[in-house]
Amino acid sequence: MLNIIGNVIGGVVNTVGGIVKKDQQIKEIKEKGRLSIEQAKIDLDVAKLHAQIKQQETQAENDMTYDMQVLKNRRESLIDEFIIVGFFVILVLTFIPATQATMALGWQALNDTAWWFEFGIVGILVSTLGLKDVLRIFIGGSIDKLRKKKE
């Protein structure tokens, strides 16, 4: 009789022990999975940062190549000199007392121009003088201004 009771108790203990062991294994698997997911998220963030760095390096290299080509092309053209002289004349006229009123009206008129006109002028300057970074600054710094003008 004790033998039967011992066998029953032993069977129950073994069954419960097996369940506890399987439950522990499941918890370990879940924990390993959770850690793997967290590691994957970290790896993804690192990969995104590396991609952003690579993109910025590539963009800077492309901009420099573009600007160098524009500078090379400037040797064969006089348009860049005309643009530079034009800007210099506009700057000087702004400070001459006899032309200040007219220049102020001109600046005010330019302040009310359409966004595409400003963008076109910047495009001309970029393509003529090789100022690709200026274009990026213009777009980044003035996008809200451009949207307001568009409306």
Reading the block at residue 106, the tokens are: 């001109």
Q: How far apart are the first and last CA of the chain?
A: 95
Q: How many helices (H) and strands (E) does the chain have?
A: 5, 0
Q: Model confidence over 95-145: pLDDT tens digits?
A: 999 999 999 999 999 888 888 888 888 888 877 777 776 676 666 655 454
Q: Is residue 90 part of a domain?
A: no
Q: Model confidence over 10-63: pLDDT tens digits?
A: 666 667 667 777 878 888 888 999 999 999 999 999 999 999 999 888 888 887
Sole residue written with tokens 């998220």: 41
Separation between Cα atoms, residue 106 and residue 16, nearest integer Å: 90
Q: Is residue 45 part of a domain?
A: yes
Q: Is residue 148 part of a domain?
A: no
Q: Is residue 24 part of a domain?
A: yes
Sole residue written with tokens 């506890």: 20
Q: Say how many C-beta atoms besides its own lie within 10 A of residue 134's C-beta.
A: 13
Model-wide pTM > 0.75: no
Count of the separate structural domains present in the chain: 1
- Three-state secondary structure call for residue 60: helix
Q: The dihedral of CA 124, 125, 130, 136: what is its sign?
A: negative
Q: Is residue 10 part of a domain?
A: yes
